[in-house]
Structure 1
């Protein structure tokens, strides 16, 4: 029923489709070791920034009101709490990104 010429055309078309799929196939993921270091530095910087901002605000308020160390102590603790909260938010963001990548890998086992 099928003509040998049609069969040859179908094989040629199949070969062209396979070639295009191979060119556009997603590249295998390689683990990026630098991303973990970047994440660690980001968290350290967030914590230090919170402490620094709290120290600056407390020191400024102490200078304005003349209450030597009290505002500085309170705002250092508030800055520490804000830094930890920001670090936790960053960790949740990274965790959700990794979960999404794992789910994507499970739905596309060939990629």
Structure 2
């Protein structure tokens, strides 16, 4: 089959292929897990901030004008809607970043 010099070249080639495959291996899933948790907390904070700001504005206006629950409920709902809209915007941003990273990885692979 393979003689001495050709066998040596074949082993060297196999080692180079193994090193190239190892270099292109994906990053550990542990980093991605923490990244996803950070994005989830960001969205929770955005929703709670929207609710809190809406509640605060509604409560302040109710105490200022003497209308007890009307503006509180209205602005709390508006704050919730704003928080959801901000969460959707953040998720679209995260998705765009992930797609950009996948495209760049595909381009490097070609």
What TM-score bracket applies, with the shorter chain setting the length? 0.7 to 0.9
Misfit runs of 4+, over 4 Å? 25-28
Q: Pick the structure with more helix per residue.
A: 2
Cα distance in 2, alignment partners of residues 72 and 35 from structure 1? 36
Considering only aligned residues, what root-mean-square deviation do their CA atoms show, in Å?
2.0
Unaligned runs of 5+ in 2: 1-22
Pairwise CA distance, 1:58: 0.1
Structure 1, residues 27-65: CA drift from partner, whole Å, max 9, x if none? 963442100100110000000000000000000000000
Q: How many residues align?
A: 87
Q: Give the equivalent residue in structure 2 for 1:93.
A: 93
TM-score (normalised: structure 1): 0.72
Q: Partners of 2:98 and 2:74 in 1: how far apart?
A: 36
Q: Tell me, which stretches of 5 or more residues in structure 1 are unaligned?
A: 1-24
Q: Residue in 1 aligned with 2:67?
A: 67
